[in-house]
């Protein structure tokens, strides 16, 4: 019998109101392993109404900021205590390796702790009034009901960077996980009540983008939409937000460059390149999917890279020894085939990989793939594939590297490998991306803002400032003078 995971609406674990379910596949086998509710429009409305009620009256609306912070710290401890269940749920549902989900779930508590600590440091200001007798000050109030929309590739981490600041600021939240990664979020949701977060403050509605995401992002009582996903969905959401004028943050895709200078520590660079594109099977928004290697070291470095790539151990995501798992959805297989298949006709060449592995025979596996893309106009070099495909070419000097790296509509991240400190600083300034990593790649932290430019979206998650995105400023004026205003028609 297939496992069924109900969703969380107004403190109750429920099926959809018409009892329809969506199959969730296990990418490691390609088989259905569980079902999630296909929420209806009415279910989404009930979840938003519950969040709205929880904000306006009841225990959450009366809780002090310090008490909210303590609840978030308790939540972080509960996540730590349930890490193995949460990691396994994410691995089975998304196909991400258990070694990766374990590492990521072990780090999730740090985000709840960090924002728990910030909850009672969200302050307004007393303003230096320019009008005698008039006092002016500001409050930072919760913004309202937050819609948190999460993709499948790292669901619990990408939820934490939204939920933790939203709750720290006193909001209530309706979460819409991806239909390909809902179960780890539903497992996490079981911990919310145990942390002492009152009923209705956190709701989880599952189902497809249409209707669930559409109804949620158009709902009149939603005040903020925090979205991570692809650019096409982002466009729909921005259009939907014209219905409710919710503020929107967008964390979108990327085609991030990695640049290896001849003066770099090449052993470190090799590891950084391999992890940057083949980690999470390339299904990471910051995947370093374009590689530029300085001409004089190109042949040797690429030969070493091919050698290491061909040794990557593909295997079951639940096996702790596997180094690369499957793609998360069957559709992703088609995308891989399309881009790799069209490369030779567009002037590129497959250096390694490009097909399905012999082993594992089951599941949605592809080979880690390197394409040489010296020519212009090769689509695998330009578009986000969201798979283990690395496009490599050369550069001559620093200016050439910057020009090539910046020739993209995306602007999420970039990696630079060099041992020259002045070059590192020059490259950080010259690269057009929200994050630049030097001699490291894919590092994240609750303290460090994360986000991109242009088609990579414009939001910044993590870091102390992100909490203010979940507040609105109220300005208060108090006239403390005894003087009666003589002219009621003159603006004071
Ligand atoms: P997606 O855009 O297809 O889906 C993301 C979420 O949006 C899912 O929950 C989906 O159900 C929901 N959705 C779909 N249609 C909707 C609609 N009309 N209204 C509201 N919600 C809707 O993305 P995906 O395939 O799940 O994830 C892959 C994408 O996410 C890639 O482009 C990747 O780069 C990006 N991503 C970005 C970051 C980042 O922080 N910048 C992190 C991870 C993934």
The CATH number assigned to the domain holding 365 equals 3.40.309.10
280 and 421 co-located in one domain: yes
Q: Which of 100, 230, 236, 466 to mutate to test the pocket of ligand 1 (most atoms within 8 A of CB)?
A: 230
194 and 309 co-located in one domain: no
211 and 317 co-located in one domain: no
Residue 484 lies in a domain: no
As given in the structure block, the two tokens for residue 411 are 């602007």
Give the Cα separation of 334 and 336 in Å (integer): 5
Tokens 């989900």 map to which residue?
Answer: 101
45 and 178 co-located in one domain: yes
Q: What's the pLDDT tens digit per position in 342-354?
A: 999 999 999 999 9
DSSP letter at 345 equals G
Q: Determine the longest span between alpha carbons in the chain, in angstroms.
A: 89
Residue 177 CA: nearest ligand 1 atom is: 9
CB 392 within 8 A of CB 370: yes
164 and 149 co-located in one domain: yes
285 tagged catalytic: yes
Residue 65 lies in a domain: yes
| Nearest residue by C-alpha to atom 43 in ligand 1 | 285
Residue 15 lies in a domain: yes
Residue 430 lies in a domain: yes
Do strands 172-176 and 202-204 pair parallel, antiparallel, or not at all (unpaired)? parallel
100 tagged catalytic: no
370 and 466 co-located in one domain: no
Write out the residue range of the structural domain in which residue 317 sits.
Answer: 257-438
Give the Cα separation of 141 and 122 in Å (integer): 9
Distances (CA, A) of 260 to 30, 229, 255, 295: 37, 29, 16, 10
Supply the DSSP string of 310-342, one letter for each residue. HT--B--TT-TT-SB---SSHHHHHHHHHHHHH
CB 115 within 8 A of CB 64: no
Nearest Cα residue to 461 out of 80, 262, 29, 163: 163
What is the per-residue pLDDT for 360? 87
| Nearest residue by C-alpha to atom 13 in ligand 1 | 209
Residue 180 lies in a domain: yes
46 and 186 co-located in one domain: yes
Q: What are phi and psi of 393, to 5 degrees?
A: -160, 180
| Count of C-beta atoms within a 10 Å radius of residue 105 | 26
What is the per-residue pLDDT for 361? 83
214 and 270 co-located in one domain: no
Phi-psi map region of 135: left, alpha, beta (phi>0 left; psi -120 to 50 alpha): beta
70 and 209 co-located in one domain: yes
Strands of 126-127's sheet in order across: 126-127, 134-142, 471-479
For ligand 1, whether the C-beta of 237 sits within 6 Å is: yes
What is the per-residue pLDDT for 485? 79
- Domain holding 80: CATH number? 3.40.605.10
For ligand 1, whether the C-beta of 114 sits within 6 Å is: no
Q: How many separate domains does the chain show?
A: 2
Residue 412 CA: nearest ligand 1 atom is: 41
Residue 186 lies in a domain: yes
Instruction: Give pLDDT < 70 ranges for the chain.
Output: none
- Which neighbouring-strand residues pair with 227? 149, 250
- How remote is the CA of residue 6 from the centroid of ligand 1, in Å? 22
96 and 240 co-located in one domain: yes
Task: Tell me the three state secondary structure of residue 472.
Answer: strand
What is the per-residue pLDDT for 35? 98
Residue 343 lies in a domain: yes
296 and 376 co-located in one domain: yes
Give the Cα separation of 187 and 242 in Å (integer): 33
23 and 113 co-located in one domain: yes
| Nearest residue by C-alpha to atom 30 in ligand 1 | 229
């Amino acid at each position: 019998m297939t496992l069924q995971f109900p969703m969380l609406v107004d403190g109750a674990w429920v099926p959809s109101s018409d009892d329809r379910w969506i199959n969730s596949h296990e990418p490691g086998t390609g088989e259905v392993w569980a079902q999630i509710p296909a929420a209806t429009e009415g279910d989404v409305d009930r979840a938003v109404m519950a969040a709205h009620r929880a904000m306006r009256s009841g225990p959450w609306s009366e809780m002090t900021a310090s008490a909210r912070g303590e609840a978030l710290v308790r939540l972080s401890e509960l996540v730590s205590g349930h890490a193995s269940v949460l990691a396994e749920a994410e691995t089975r549902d998304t196909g991400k390796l258990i070694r990766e989900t374990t590492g990521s779930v072990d780090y999730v508590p740090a985000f709840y702790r960090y924002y728990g600590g910030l909850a009672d440091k969200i302050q307004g200001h007393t303003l230096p009034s320019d009008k005698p007798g008039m006092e002016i000050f500001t409050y930072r109030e919760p913004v309202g009901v937050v819609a948190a929309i999460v993709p499948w590739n790292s669901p619990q981490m990408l939820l934490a960077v939204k939920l933790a600041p939203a709750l720290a600021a006193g909001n209530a939240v309706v979460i819409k996980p991806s239909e390909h990664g809902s179960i780890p979020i539903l497992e996490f949701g079981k911990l919310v009540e145990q942390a002492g977060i009152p009923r209705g403050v956190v709701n989880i509605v599952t189902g497809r983008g249409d209707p669930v995401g559409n109804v949620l992002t158009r709902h009149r009582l939603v005040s903020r939409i925090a979205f991570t996903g692809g650019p096409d969905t982002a466009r729909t959401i921005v259009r939907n937000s014209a219905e409710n004028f919710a503020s929107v943050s967008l964390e979108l895709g990327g085609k991030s460059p990695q640049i290896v200078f001849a003066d770099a520590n090449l052993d470190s660079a090799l590891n950084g390149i391999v992890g940057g594109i083949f980690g999470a099977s390339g299904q990471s928004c910051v995947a370093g999917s374009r590689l530029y290697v300085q001409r004089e070291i190109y042949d040797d470095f690429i030969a070493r890279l091919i050698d290491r790539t061909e040794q990557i151990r593909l295997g079951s995501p639940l096996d702790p020894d596997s180094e690369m798992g499957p793609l998360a959805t069957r559709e992703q297989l088609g995308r891989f085939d399309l881009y790799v298949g069209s490369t030779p006709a567009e002037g590129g060449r497959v250096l390694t990989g490009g097909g399905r592995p012999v082993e594992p025979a089951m599941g949605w596996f592809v080979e880690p793939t390197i394409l040489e893309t010296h020519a212009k106009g090769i689509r695998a070099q330009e578009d986000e594939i969201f798979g283990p495909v690395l496009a490599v070419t050369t550069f001559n000097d620093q200016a050439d590297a910057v020009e090539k790296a910046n020739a993209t509509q995306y602007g999420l991240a970039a990696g630079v490998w060099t041992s020259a400190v002045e070059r590192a600083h020059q490259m950080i300034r010259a690269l057009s991306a929200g994050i630049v990593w030097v001699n490291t790649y894919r590092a994240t932290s609750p303290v460090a803002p994360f986000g991109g430019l242009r088609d990579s979206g414009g939001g910044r998650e993590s870091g102390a400032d992100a909490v203010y995105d979940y507040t609105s400023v109220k300005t208060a004026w108090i006239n403390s003078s005894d003087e009666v205003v003589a002219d009621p028609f003159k603006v004071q």
